[in-house]
Structures are given as C-alpha cells and as structure tokens.
Amino acid sequence: MAEPASHPYEPLADPPKSFTLHEALQGTKTADGHWHVGKLEFANTKEYSDFRVGQVEMAGTKGQLATLYALETTGKIPGSESMNAAPPGTTIDGLLDVKDKKPDAQGFYHLGTLRVQKDEFSQFADLQKNICGKNPEALAALYHMEHAPDRPVTFRVTGDNDRNDRYEDGPNTIHWNPHTSARDNRNGARVDPGTAALHEETHWALRGGVGDTLSSIPSKEYSDYNERAVIEGSEARMQDIESRSKRHSHHGHVIPVRELDSIAPSVTVRQNGTEREAGPGFQQSGRVIGMKDGWVTLAVRGDGNQPEHRMDLKVEQLEAAFGHDLPAERVLLNGAQKHGDTVTISTTNDGRIVYANPAQEKRIHDQHQPWPPFPKEMPQFSGSPDLAERPIVPSQKADLVGVAR
C-alpha cells in the first residue's frame, strides 16, 4: 500500500474576507522614499510599482491573498521556516531503497513520487547521504519529494556545462551539478553543492500558489521573495551547520568546486614588521581601520600579555576565488560595511576561511535590509606595516572587541 502524501509546509491561514487584492496593494510612503505595505517594505517607488503590477498579473492565483496576508501581517516569509519533519523512524537508507530494482522505460528509478536516472543514482545517493546526515531538514525534503501529493518530481544530475542549479516548475524538475559552488558577489559567501541541492529542493517544496506569489514580489538583492525565502531559510540554516558565511544576495558567480578547492586557503598575519601564515583554527576579531593592496588592518583589543595593537591580515583565497574582479578588501569592506565595524576572520580546522561581521549579519537578518551598494571609490588609507607602531587613538579603543588566539 502506498504511503500517504506529505506536505512540506503547513497551509497558510485564510485571510479575512475584507482582505481583498485592492486592500493588499495599499502602501504608504515614508520620508526616506521607502514604501510599506503592512510589514512588507520596498526600497523605492519603482519596486513598489513592480509589486503592484506583479500582483495584478497574478490576480486570482490560488494562495495569492493568503501569501500576501501572511507577509503583510507577520513580516515572516512563508517557506523560510523549516519544512515539516519526516516521520519518526525515517532513515536515509530507507528513503534511498529502490523497491523496484528495474528502471522504467526512460531509465528512471522511482523512489515513491521521486524519479532519478539510473546512471545518476549513485551521485544522487552520495549527495543525500551527505546532506541528510548533517541536516534533518534535508531528510525532510527528501521524504517530501518521495511522498508528493500532486505529481512526480524529477531530480537530474547535470554535467560540466550546466552550471547554474535550478528548479523548473513546468517539468517539476531539479537540475543539480555536483561540481559547482555559488559565490555571493557582495560578501564572498560560498554555497557548496550539498547546500545548493537543498536550495533547489526547497524551491520544489515552495512550488504552486505560495511560491508563485513569492516570485512575483520584487526583493532586489534577492531577485524576489521566493529566492529570499530559500536563501534566508533552509540555505542559511545549512550554512550554519557547515560553518560558512551566509549569502545576503541572489547575485553571484558559479565556480567549479575544483577551482575553489585547488586554491590553498591562506590568511597571512603581518605584525610588527613580520609575516606568518595563520594556519587552520585561526580566529581574529577586530575593528577595521584600513584596507589596501589586499591587506586588511584591524585594531585588536589586547589580552593580559599584550596591549591594544594593530594587525594586518591578507586573505588570499577570496582574491583568487574571484579572479581578481572582486578583491578581498572590497568583499571585506562590504562585510564590514564601513571602517570602524567589527569583523571576525577565521579559518576552520580543514583550512576553509570564514569571515563575518556577526552584528551586521544579525541586523540584516532581523530587518531584511539590503546590502548597501559598493562605494564608487575605495577609500584610501594606510595599511602599511608601520601602523603597528602607531598608538591607537582613544576614540578607537572603546570599540575594540575580540581576543587573538
């Protein structure tokens, strides 16, 4: 007997009868030029206008008003929450057990309502074992794909020339490349293939009226609210599990993993005129007081043995990964927003580099603020070794946080 169908998300509450499309589109403009439609916010009149045009085009779509009502009254994006968990006792081995060992006439194995090409099954199974072993949400996504209430979903493993992973709701198909990573243009955050697969599976989970309505609402850094739900939702939670920086944008590069992995990650520390490799397990927090020629100068609070001091760091992986079109200091400047912000640059035990400005990330996450545009001209300042000998002015001392390990 077939197992019952599952639903990744709880259905949205019906809005009150008074909540019509006309009501849903009423916005107010604030002095800073932003538009507010309940708790939905648009950065300018053009974005608000795009929202209105999009909703008129979507008029009558099932789930449209419920989605708008949820967005405008709660401020939470439907689909950014965790999917309903798989039932207790669900195992990855059970979900990957192909009951009928013979593929169908098109060469697909069937896992309930999920279809996977026989030739691609081994890579698919390796992916699922990897991500489901780390993240119960990935196990939930796989479970829901195998118990879809509407129509079969296909998971395809693509080749080298098919780089941008995607979900197409027409054929209800996920395309996933096991050899590519995505990079956020703004903060350098890296999304590896496993997280990318969960990203696309979440788009699948968000298919239909709710997902279509989210796609019809602009959110410029994220392209639209569907992408924003996924990037700020399941993807961000997976990035936490992977100890990686989160994306705050849908714009970026797709880069072969082998190119990223072939770059020896390198943080070089320059202090008191001498340079040394930071090595794995390094972590340094400090206030950004300079960036030049790939060197980031931090003002670092002293510990018991060392007074406040300056430290120059060169983060070479970022420069190389971006092919020099987005130098490290620019990435870090946007991570830090401005001179004086506090950042943490660290390397994991396997040598990966993670950097973040936790306060900034939290602010963006809480307020859904877009990243500021790049400054047209990089500010000039001195990052020279002799900075280490200069005293820190009292106004800088107050902000120093973090301790060198």
Partner 1 sequence: MQSAKAGDTEAGIGARIEAARASAFKLTIYHLPPGLRTLVAVTAAALEAFPGVAVDEIGDAATIGSALDALVAARPVPENHPLNVRYGLIFTDVGGERIMRAYKGRFASEGQIEDTPCDFEEPSLHEWLIARYPAARHG
Where on the chain is the footprint of partner 1 (CB under 8 A)?
46-47, 49-50, 53-54, 57-58, 61, 158, 162, 164-170, 175, 182, 185, 191, 196, 199-200, 203, 212, 215-216, 218, 220, 223-224, 226-227, 230, 250-254, 373
Q: How far is the CB of 222 from partner 1 (least distance, A)?
A: 9
The nearest distance, CB 338 to partner 1, in angstroms, is: 18
Minimum separation from the CB atom of position 274 to partner 1 (A): 40
In this structure, what DSSP letter does residue 171 have?
T
Contact in structure between 28 and 35 (CB atoms under 8 Å): yes
Nearer to partner 1, 224 or 316 (CB): 224
In the complex with partner 1, which residue's Cβ is closer, 199 or 309? 199
- Cα(328)–Cα(183) distance, integer angstroms: 13
In angstroms, the Cα distances linking 236 to 189, 195, 196, 244, 346 are 11, 9, 11, 9, 19
**Least distance CB 322 / partner 1 (angstroms):** 14
CA atoms within 13 A on the CB side of 369: 11
Q: Which residue number, 208 or 340, has a Cβ lying nearer to partner 1?
A: 208
Residue 281 CB, nearest distance to partner 1 (Å)? 30
Nearer to partner 1, 212 or 242 (CB): 212
What is the chain's length? 405
Least CB distance from residue 141 to partner 1, whole Å? 14
- State which residue, 165 or 312, has the beta carbon closest to partner 1: 165
For residues 198 and 168, give the distance between their C-alpha atoms in angstroms, rounded to a whole number: 15
C-alpha 139/C-alpha 113 separation (Å) is 15
Cβ distance 358 to 344 under 8 Å?
Answer: yes
52: which residues sit within 8 A by CB, 6+ positions away? 25
The CA-atom distances, in angstroms, between 219 and each of 41, 74, 385 are: 9, 17, 42
Least Å distance, CB 18 to partner 1, is 26
DSSP assignment letter at 187: T
Could you tell me the smallest distance in angstroms from the CB atom of residue 231 to partner 1?
Answer: 10
CA 59 to CA 247: how far, in whole Å? 32
Residue 164 C-beta: closest distance to partner 1, Å: 5
The H or E element containing residue 29 is: strand 28-29
Of the pair 94, 374, the CB lying nearest partner 1 is at 374
Which residue lies nearer to partner 1 by CB, 126 or 168? 168
Report the alpha-carbon distance of residue 50 to residue 56 in Å, rounded. 10
Return contacts of 289-293, CB within 8 angstroms, 24+ apart: 289/339, 289/340, 289/381, 289/387, 289/396, 290/339, 290/381, 290/382, 290/383, 290/387, 291/329, 291/332, 291/333, 291/378, 291/381, 291/383, 292/329, 292/380, 292/381, 292/382, 292/383, 292/384, 293/329, 293/383
Query: Based on CB atoms, which residue is closest to partner 1, 32 or 350?
Result: 32
Closer Cβ to partner 1, 250 or 309, answer by number: 250
Q: Given the complex with partner 1, which of 211 and 402 has the nearer CB atom?
A: 211
Least distance to partner 1, CB of residue 342, Å: 27
Residue whose entry in the numeric block shows the structure tokens 């699948």: 204
